[in-house]
Chain A
Amino acid sequence: MIPAAFDYAAPGSLPEAVELLRRHGEEAKVIAGGQSLIPAMRFRLARPGVLVDIQRIPGLDFLAEEEGVLRIGPLVRHAEMEASPLIRDRYPLLAETASVVADPLVRNLGTVAGSLVHADPAGDWGAALLAARARVVLTGPGGERELALEDFLVDTFTTAISPDEILTEIRVPAPAPRSGGAYLKIERKVGDFATAAVGVQVAFDADGRCTAAGVGLCAVGPTSLRAREAEAFLAGKRFEPEVLERAGELAAAASSPVADTRGSEAYKRDMVRILTVRALARAAERALAA
């Protein structure tokens, strides 16, 4: 199918891009990888008047850990997250997430930041980065502001971003010693959105007790969700089977899925339980093996 007509602008700098957004307001839409936007445009469900392509702005593809923070630039593609030795070695939660986003070809164009701004509750990055306690930086005409990811994700396909802002950085706290993460996803086939998925990031003290736990849920609510009760419950505990089982139940209780072609409410909720238990076990194994 063919998108409706639009104007195209490819600014060479961030201020120029922001100015374009300011000028065109609701009519404008930022395009980075375009892997969610262009399909919606092809069905003419999305029909922006102006596309502001930020791909030609230099310096937006940084991916580095600095001073205890992983900084992910707005043009970092899923595939780069998947292939980066830094991510593979230090952030298994993110590496694992990257490897199950859409399919390998889509991952070569789609960006992590674009996926967050799209705010599809079934997008993988929301859940993973909630578990990782990520923050986002938004740049607009008035400068930068930083938000916790959970404050950024407002509703289905809706974020706290203004029409004249660009998400310019994702910040993820570097992992503490004895920490590990995992991302588990149930999809009907490769390339499908999650039926349900769970991302976890956990840290332990020297006695093997959990010092911090992040549990993010995908595709089981109006936005990506944090399973707060499960996170709180895990603090201070060793990951015995009954502890994991209870955490799984708490995570399932935190979800509010709706039935669709991917499954019933009950199925999705139970998958949250199963995946949470398995992801926690895998993350703990990684944390304690190090």
Chain B
Amino acid sequence: MSAVQATDVIGQRIKRKEDPRFIQGLGRYVDDITLPRMVYMALVRSPYAHARLKAIRTEAALAMPGVLAVITGADLEKAGLAWMPTLAGDRQMVLATGKVLFQYQEVAAVVAETREAAFDGAEAVEVEYEPLPAVVDPFASLRPESPLLREDREEKTNHIWHWEAGEREATEAAIRSADVVVRQDVVFQRVHPAPLEPCGCVADYNRGTGRLTLYVTSQAPHAHRTLLSMVSGLPEHMIRVISPDVGGGFGNKVAIYPGYVCAVVASLRLGRPVKWVETRTENLTSTQFARDYHMTAEIAAGRDGRVKALRVRALADHGAFDAQANPTRYPAGLFSICTGSYDFPTAFAEVDAVYTNKAPGGVAYRCSFRVTEASYLIERTMDVLADELGIDPAELRRRNFVPPAKFPYRSALGWTYDSGDYAKALDLALETVGYEELRREQEERRRRGELMGIGLSSFTEIVGAGPNHLFDIAGIKMFDSCELRVHPTGKVLARFGTRHQGQGHETTFAQVVAQELGLSVDDVIVEEGDTDTAPYGLGTYGSRSTPTAGAAAALAARRVREKALKIAAHLLECGEEDVQWADGRFQVQGAPARSVTMKDVALAAYTNPPPGLEPGLEAVFYYDPPNLTFPFGTYVCVVDIDKGTGDVKVRRFVAVDDCGTVINPMIVEGQIHGGLTEGFGIAFMQEIKYDEDGNCLSGNFTEYLLPTAVETPRWETARTVTPSPHHPIGAKGVGESPNVGSPAAFVNAVVDALSPLGVRHIDMPVTREKVWSILRSHGIRG
């Protein structure tokens, strides 16, 4: 690798430091870990969505060759471990007792000498069930005649919580008196993050040291350590959580799953390392899903298209347990970002949550908490308004954008947007795609009876949770951290409380540190994921790493620099006040030729520290962000529809993103490609479906459809840069914008193509059959 000049490290397209191991097959993921005397665990799961457990017979399984132990809910109950707390303040069964509440719920764990024997043993466990009627529809769950699902709770209802924000009366009044009100029901279907690596762990309890080491697929290793300590009763210092390379997370690896707890229990019981790696079916049917929001939006507006008020209602289906990973104060996450990029004078939003006999969740899938639902809803409904008023959707958006002069902007639902220039991103997107020309082409095609659509989305995100006076998970404040150790030779070890899963932290955080310390990226090594060595942090999700840990990196480095300046003054034989940091060096003011580098200082810190100054050169910084960051952008999608089959072809997709200061444009672009592809999959094919009996119909990759290279459109990306005023380097976070912003662009394009038929909305996934049935119902035979 060639050395990169210190002064221009941020903003450089630098090849990733993590790649050499991955491209040579030398990454180390959880399933790659093999320990001496390790045994395997498999889980017995319920075929029923709702059933009373009548009996579990383990004798046959225990008699199978190689089977060492079978653990049931009754066993865990004795240890007080049959239930565990969720991050949302609910509790979840580790192994079922009494009854099962969703299909594929964990019922027993079988530990055996080999993987094969564990699966054979699991098959041999006999479980007797008495099936109960399953509740699949969240609306039906609230009806009085619906069976009570959670008999363990004091509240004898399937309703979990109600949340609201904004001004109910003012919003109602505005809606009553408005020229125009549009109302749209919008379902954001249940989806699953489905990282390519499933979840798993190796639990290694050492009877000699009394310590438990848990290698686990974790986006938040420290939080997992603390919670595991709370659940298991093991003292926290006797637990070491290591999250090795993680094969994608997207929110799926934020939670603690019953399988981890069972593996820990098995290791404690057997005194041997226990490996449990779930199958894809287990992953899709039992781990954190996302969305499942059933929403209604109403926008009140004047004839001129100026919006007056927004009212939103949503029903959130959480499945059998409220296992969200939301900040405590926000049961509906940051759903109140639903006013989007628009200057609503008033707004009101409310969400009710409900239990059903489905897998528990839900997590933020490649987005900040419930932001995708909110963004999709407002961007979809703005198009409904445009259609109602006969105003071009681009023009309607422009008329209602929060203007640059209003930043920092206080939204009607209470957020303070840090910075934004929405029209600039819109303009760039329209210009790049050739909007005017496309609209002319569309008109021509419509005359010929062809179906072409153009869809826009001008989204605003809210990421980087978050300010500690507002944000905590299970009581732990949502700061993040960086610890820097500058070695005598000027090389740096940088450790973080975050845990990347492909985001490129080993490169981008090295860039931030190198920039701040005047070093080369090659001089910095980034380490994450080991709770014994990394400073405490809340982990990587919700696009929070750059806004929090990235900020901590810059500020820890500046802390190093403060001490380094004292050493530099000592080396330059002048007063501290005469030394300045410029061009990546310490220089004597007025005599820039007299300078020392960070490397010189590092050596001196260990070999020649100034008298009275502590030797060494290290710093740690725990960063409490003063505000969230608000990335934004405009996406434009162009589609053509086959009238025969209902097939939708994405012809063009232009994405203009603004994530503030860009640390590494190559990585930013990669994040955008990936997020757009997920948004595409969600818009057109991904859905976790259940039948009326609560069978999960999407429990593997033949039915949970992920786009391949063939379906995936070619992405065109561009950007504007509006730095965050409160972030030390102006960065906002980007991993999730494309997934948040794109679903509306896709659906808006399809609806636009069909709008001559009077179509105003189609729920995702937009399958060929949905389009086909609209076409046929309008007599278009193909």
Contact = CB atoms under 8 A, between A and B. Distances in A.
B279 A1 contact: yes
Contacts of B706: 189
Contacts, number: 55
Nearest to B698: A261
Nearest to A271: B645
B776 A190 contact: no
B772 A1 contact: no
A281 to B, nearest CB: 12
A1 B281 contact: yes
A186 B772 CA distance: 13
Nearest to B707: A189
Interface in B327-343: none
B710 interface: yes
B708 A2 contact: no
A88 interface: no
Interface in A185-204: 186, 188-193, 195
Given A1-B279, A1-B281, A2-B116, A267 B702 contact: no
Interface string A99-116: 000010000000000000
B230 interface: no
A192 B705 contact: yes
Interface string B763-775: 0000111001100
B645 A189 contact: no
Contact of A264 (B281, B698, B702, B769): B769
A191 B689 contact: no
B703 interface: yes
B689 A261 contact: yes
Contacts of A1: 119, 279, 281
Given A2-B116, A274-B644, A190 B708 contact: yes
A267 B770 CA distance: 10
Interface in B716-773: 767-769, 772-773
Contacts of B645: 186, 271, 274
Contacts of A171: none
A189 B685 contact: yes
B779 interface: no
B115 A2 contact: yes
Nearest to A193: B702
Contact of B772 (A5, A191, A192, A270): A270
Contacts of B179: none
Majority SS of interface residues in chain A?
loop
A44 interface: yes
B126 interface: no
A189 B708 contact: yes
Interface string A1-43: 1101100000000000000000000000000000000000000
B55 interface: no
A263 interface: yes
A263 B705 CA distance: 14
A188 B119 contact: no
A77 interface: no
Given A44-B123, A271-B645, A188 B115 contact: no
B697 A267 contact: no
A183 to B, nearest CB: 15
Contacts of A44: 123
A267 to B, nearest CB: 5
B436 to A, nearest CB: 34
Contacts of B705: 188-189, 192
A-B complex: 5 closest residue pairs judged by Cβ atoms: A274-B644, A2-B119, A267-B769, A190-B708, A190-B710
8 contacts: A1-B119, A5-B116, A186-B647, A189-B708, A264-B769, A270-B772, A270-B782, A274-B645
